[in-house]
């Protein structure tokens, strides 16, 4: 069985995932918790990590089973074939969402030439110098790689 990528109508990802689960189809819709502000209150809501996408784990010949669910548009294709996501990539997404709590991450102000160490993500344990900061995004020069990377502070832990 392979993980296929479904393209859904806008803002129907969670409903599509629920309906597919009811039909006995293994589905994964990665969700992140974010704080939303209304005029009278703040509320924590779950939003899809990938807007308009869900992942389904099916046999090739069973791919048509999903089209009875309202909100599904089509499968995502790559090189004229349905896009397939490896199990290891799905596990990386799951692990990343479990290990990083976006609600407890605070954005700090860094100045140019601050030395930081990346504490999570694929560049974990690498050190570099801050070149620039724009909001929650840092540009960091990594000495060992001899390259500049952008670090999203809302998704990556760093230490000064």
Q: Which residue has the higher pLDDT, 5 or 159?
A: 5
- Given this model, what pLDDT does residue 104 score? 47
* Burial class for 52, CB neighbours closer than 10 Å (0-12, 13-18, 19+): middle
Q: Which residue has the higher pLDDT, 42 or 69?
A: 69
Question: Could you read off the pLDDT of 75-100 as tens digits, one per residue?
Answer: 999 889 999 999 999 998 888 788 76
Q: Is 66 left (phi over 0), alpha (psi -120 to 50) or beta?
A: alpha
Q: Does residue 106 have a pLDDT over 60?
A: no
Written as six digits, the tokens of 25 are 């189809």
In the structure, what pLDDT confidence band is assigned to residue 108 with cuts at 50, 70 and 90? low
Q: Which residue has the higher pLDDT, 17 or 36?
A: 17
Q: Which residue has the higher pLDDT, 27 or 155?
A: 27
| HSE value, Cβ hemisphere, 13 Å, CA-based, for 33 | 12
Residue appearing with tokens 């397939």: 84
Q: Which percentage of the chain shows pLDDT scores above 70? A: 94
Q: How far apart are CA 59 and CA 29, in angstroms?
A: 18
| HSE value, Cβ hemisphere, 13 Å, CA-based, for 145 | 13
The average pLDDT across 112-125 equals 81
In the structure, what pLDDT confidence band is assigned to residue 26 with cuts at 50, 70 and 90? very high
Q: Does residue 155 have a pLDDT over 70?
A: yes
């Amino acid at each position: 069985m392979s993980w296929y990528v479904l393209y859904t109508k806008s803002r129907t990802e969670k409903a599509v995932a629920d309906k597919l689960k009811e039909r006995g189809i293994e589905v994964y819709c990665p969700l992140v918790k974010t704080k939303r502000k209304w005029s009278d209150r703040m509320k924590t809501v779950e939003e899809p990590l990938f807007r308009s996408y869900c992942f389904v784990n099916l046999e090739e010949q069973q791919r048509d089973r999903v089209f009875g669910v309202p909100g599904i548009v089509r499968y995502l294709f790559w090189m004229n074939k349905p896009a397939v996501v490896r199990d290891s990539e799905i596990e990386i997404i799951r692990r990343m969402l479990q290990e990083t709590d976006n609600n407890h991450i605070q954005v700090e102000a860094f100045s140019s030439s601050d030395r930081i160490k990346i504490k999570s993500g694929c560049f974990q344990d690498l050190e570099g110098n801050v070149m620039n900061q724009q909001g929650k995004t840092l540009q960091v020069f990594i000495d060992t790689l001899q390259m500049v990377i952008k670090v999203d502070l809302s998704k990556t832990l760093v230490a000064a």
